[in-house]
Structure 1
Amino acid sequence: MASSLAVSTFALAQERPAQPDPEPTRVDDIVVQGMPLRDQVTTFVDAVTAPPAGRAPARWADRAGVCVGVANLGRDSAQFMVDRVSEVALLLDMPVGEPGCSPNVVVMLTDDAPGLAAALVERSPNAFRPHYAGAAGTVRKLDIFVASDRPARWWHVAMPVTGESGNPAIRMPGDDRIPRVKVPLSRLTTTIRNELRRAFIIVDIDQVEHLTLTQLSDYVAMVAFAQIDPDHEVGDFPSILNVIAVPTAASEMTDWDRAYLQALYGVELNRRRPSSQRGQIAADMFRDRRAAAGDEGAQSVGD
């Protein structure tokens, strides 16, 4: 399942050997007592979903798939992370690249995350903010990405495409052709959707050394496959996103996390209003969690 070379293609500081990863312990999902299940799901989806302003959520296209690259980690540990992240891609019905593919999900570990982020953005600014609307976050958000002291930072690049062909729905720099976009009769739906094209994830190795390799790999997978808000507040939910602050929060990606990703990758991304698209994701996630809990379990949390 290896989908990329597990060696550095960047000039990073030094390689730090990873500690052996203990056998993960299964942690049962919990729920926020006193809040109806539907409200729990809606609150979670609203808290974590953060596409660029004015854009609906994006996801990786199943026709292209993903190729995961890990830099500055021991070969065996890097291969473990590549395989672990790739397993989540397969769960979402996305193909993964063969060994030697060109990474579009690039994970970099370093002891100087702000310095590495600054160097990458300075060297290849267009890779982070291409010259077309809606590709990525604002200049201010990019500045925060560079200067942040967070243990992990990530940056996604997306492209609006037409639903039928998957071709760019915008005029690309240097291309005089005007894209042909079929306009539906409905005022609620559109033929344009947003596809992820690149993800950069930089991890401060000194701030995550308390995590197991499974925890870190699953955290990386979560932020690689969804445009997660870096300022998310989801401490009340059973999510791998809490694991850096509270290592006992989850030993691996939880059923709650998988339900969110499967909802994101299962719905039709054809709503004109981004808020409506989040509502569709929340509705699918709610149905999954209600089915998992059973009617009696759903009633016990107030639904």
Structure 2
Amino acid sequence: MRMALIGFALAIAAPGTAQAQDKPADDPSIVVRGQKGVPPREARKFVRQVVTSTEGQLARFVDPVCPFVLGLPRQYAMVVEDRIRDDARQAGIRTGAEGKCQPNLVIMVADNADAVVRKLRQKFSGLFLGVSAKEMSRAMREGPVHVWSAVQVRNENGQAPRQTESDGPPTLRVYGASLVDLQTQQAVLQSIMVLDADALLGKTLTQISDYVAMRTLAGARPPREGVEANTILTLFDPQGAPPPAMTGIDRGFLAGLYKVRPNGTSVTQMSTISRQIVKDSKPRTERE
């Protein structure tokens, strides 16, 4: 039902977007890994620049990820979906069975992304349930990229709020107390991204896929303009020269997020991610 709603919304908001980009050139198997280790200080700075917190914690998918692309010719959409699945698996994120799972990561390519998001907000407000006010504000800003995620607070065991009384609000049951961790965790239920078709011109499918993965799976935000960072998150920075794919620091961030204690504080979670970036970036000696 939700996918039918999204498809209908896109159809009435931006007809013809399926032909927006019909000549992407790419080899989706390319993975660029850095050869130079990332110093701890640089890793911590990067994490602070791009991380997004919700109620003092970092949100992530808990259910298997199921990507679905709208607005591109199907043969290209499948390449993007496969690449996102591969990015997820490399980071230790579970993925749903292709063609059998309910999409919870939706990417729309539209002729006018700003107009599409405004129309979705006006006519299909259900797509924004569970989105914080701060993230809503970011999602509605004009630009080539709009992204938002529905986040649900769960207890330390991953259990969602339950309806205990027919006329009362759902309640969250917590079981313990800790001086280090919290009694909650932040679970991403779904993530939606709307991309402006014109902004994709000159970008490869690998770049687009990896950018989407970092923005949705990791909740990462592009670093501020003018800040030097070798990251795919600079893909739409007009002043930058984006890499051809996820970099080592990107993959370390994504993997680190899914290794943190889910009920930890954002401070301890960010520290874990920083250490993961440093670990993953160390040069490796491989024997043939």
The TM-score range, normalised by the shorter chain, is: 0.7 to 0.9
TM-score (norm 2): 0.83
Q: Which amino acid aligns with 2:255?
A: Q
- 2:23 aligned residue: 19
2:145 maps to a residue whose letter is: A
TM (norm. structure 1) is 0.79
Give 1:196 deviation, angstroms: 0.7
1:171, distance to aligned residue in structure 2 (A): 6.7
The residue type equivalent to 2:193 in the other structure is I
| 1:84 alignment partner AA | R
Does the CA-based 8 Å contact 2:32-2:244 persist in structure 1?
yes
Contact 2:43 2:249 (8 Å CA) reproduced:
no
Deviation of the 1:124 alpha carbon: 2.8
Aligned to 1:59: 60
Task: After TM superposition, give the deviation of residue 213 of structure 1 in Å.
Answer: 1.4
Task: Report 1:108-119 matches (<5 A).
Answer: 108-119=108-119
Change (3 A) 1:235 1:211: farther
Measured after TM superposition, the shift of residue 120 of structure 1 is 1.3
CA shift in 2, pair 1:168/1:110, >3 Å:
same
Compared CA separation, residues 23 and 274, structure 1 to 2 (3 A) = closer
1:137 is aligned to 2:156: no
2:51 to 39, 49, 54: 49
- Partners of 1:73 and 1:247 lie apart in 2 by 26
Q: Do the aligned partners of 1:68 and 1:105 also contact (CA within 8 Å) in 2? A: yes
CA gap 1:143/1:269 in 2 versus in 1, 3 angstroms: closer
How far apart are 1:146 and its partner, in Å? 2.1
1:198 equivalent among 161, 185, 190:
190
Q: Cα–Cα, structure 1 residues 232 and 58, in superposed 2: closer, same or farther, change >3 Å?
A: farther
Instruction: Provide the residue aligned with 1:39 in structure 2.
Output: 41
Q: In structure 2, what is the Cα distance between the partners aligned to 1:259 and 1:125?
A: 35
Distance (whole Å) between structure 1 residues aligned to residue 207 and residue 173 of structure 2: 44
Paired position in structure 2 for 1:292: 283
In structure 2, how many angstroms separate the alpha carbons of the residues matched to 1:152 and 1:168?
A: 30
How far 1:42 moved relative to its partner?
0.3
CA offsets 1:234-281 (integer angstroms, 9 cap, x no match): 85222111222367431111222111100100121222x422322222
Deviates more, 1:113-122 or 1:231-240: 231-240
Q: What is residue 146 of structure 1 aligned with on the other side?
A: 140
Q: Determine if contact 2:248/2:280 at 8 Å carries over to the other structure.
A: no
Q: Count residues with an aligned counterpart.
A: 273
The separation in 2 between residues aligned to 1:293 and 1:174, in whole angstroms, is 59
- Deviation track 1:8-46 (CA, whole Å, cap 9, x = no partner) reads 5531321214214234766553769xxx81110000000
Find out whether 1:275 has 2:279 as its counterpart.
no
Could you tell me whether the CA contact under 8 Å between 1:183 and 1:190 is conserved in 2? no
Asked whether the equivalents of residues 223 and 233 of structure 2 are also in contact (C-alpha less than 8 Å), the reply is: no
Match of 2:248 among 245, 255, 261: 255
**Does the 8 Å contact 1:70/1:106 carry over to 2?**
yes
Distance 1:78 1:231, change over 3 A: same
CA distance in 1, matches of 2:234, 2:197: 17
Whether 2:180 is the aligned partner of 1:188: answer yes
Q: Percent identity?
A: 23
What CA RMSD, in Å, does the superposition of the two structures yield over aligned residues? 3.0
